C-alpha cells in the first residue's frame, strides 16, 4: 500500500477517533444529568444513553484509536528520520497524553455504565475540552513542524484554554437562570 493511502487512512481514523472522544464525554454529561432526574425519567433515559455510549465507545472510538495507532506507526516506518526532530518528540508526547485521556474516558465510561459517577456535569464539560486542547497541539505541531512555533502554540493553547473555561462558566450561569 502506498504511503499516501496509509497517510489518508491515518487521518480518517484520527478524525473518527476525535469525533468519538468529543461525543462520548457529551454522553457522559447527559448520563450524569439523567441520574439526577426523577426515577420515572431516569428509567427511560439511562438505558438509552447507556446503549448509545456503549455503541459509540466500542464500535467507533476504540477501533478508531487502535487503527490511528497502527497507521501512525506505519507512517513512522516510512519517516524514521522524523524521530530525531524536536517537533516530533513534542507531537508524540501529546499523542501519549491523548491515549492517556482516552484511557481516562474508558474508566469514566465503565463507572457511568454501572450507574456511578464522581464527576459533576460541569467537571465533565471541562474534561471534554482537554481533547480539544490536545487536538490543537497535535495538529499545529504536525503542520508547522517547528518547535520554536510550539512556544507560540503553547501560549495560544493557554489562551484557548482560558477562552474555553470562560465559555463553560458563562454557559453554566446561563443554564442556571
Q: C-alpha 4: how far from its chain's center?
A: 25
Domain boundaries, given as residue ranges, for the chain: 3-176
pLDDT at 92: 93
Grid coordinates in use for 174? 446561563
Spatial separation of the C-alpha atoms in residues 73 and 7, rounded to whole Å: 10
Total residues found in the chain within this entry? 177
pLDDT at 164: 81
Q: Using alpha carbons, select from 128, 121, 133, 102 the residue that is nearest to residue 172.
A: 121
pLDDT at 148: 63
Q: 91 labelled as ligand-binding?
A: yes
pLDDT tens, N- to C-terminus, the chain (177 residues): 799 999 999 999 999 999 999 999 999 999 999 999 999 999 999 999 999 999 999 999 999 999 999 999 999 999 888 888 888 888 999 999 999 999 999 999 999 999 998 999 989 999 998 999 899 889 888 888 776 666 677 777 778 778 887 888 787 777 777
Amino acid at each position: 500500500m502506498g504511503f499516501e493511502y496509509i497517510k489518508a487512512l491515518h487521518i480518517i481514523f484520527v478524525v473518527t477517533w476525535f469525533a468519538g472522544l468529543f461525543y462520548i464525554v457529551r454522553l457522559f454529561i447527559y448520563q450524569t444529568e439523567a441520574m439526577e432526574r426523577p426515577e420515572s425519567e431516569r428509567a427511560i433515559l439511562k438505558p438509552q444513553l447507556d446503549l448509545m455510549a456503549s455503541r459509540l465507545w466500542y464500535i467507533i472510538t476504540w477501533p478508531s484509536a487502535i487503527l490511528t495507532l497502527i497507521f501512525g506507526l506505519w507512517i513512522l516506518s516510512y519517516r524514521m528520520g522524523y524521530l530525531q526532530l524536536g517537533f516530533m518528540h513534542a507531537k508524540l508526547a501529546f499523542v501519549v497524553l491523548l491515549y492517556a485521556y482516552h484511557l481516562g474516558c474508558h474508566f469514566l465510561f465503565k463507572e457511568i455504565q454501572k450507574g456511578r459517577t464522581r464527576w459533576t456535569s460541569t467537571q465533565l464539560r471541562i474534561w471534554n475540552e482537554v481533547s480539544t486542547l490536545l487536538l490543537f497541539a497535535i495538529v499545529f505541531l504536525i503542520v508547522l513542524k517547528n518547535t520554536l512555533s510550539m512556544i507560540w502554540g503553547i501560549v495560544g493553547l493557554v489562551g484557548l484554554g482560558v477562552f474555553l473555561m470562560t465559555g463553560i462558566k458563562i454557559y453554566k450561569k446561563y443554564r442556571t437562570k
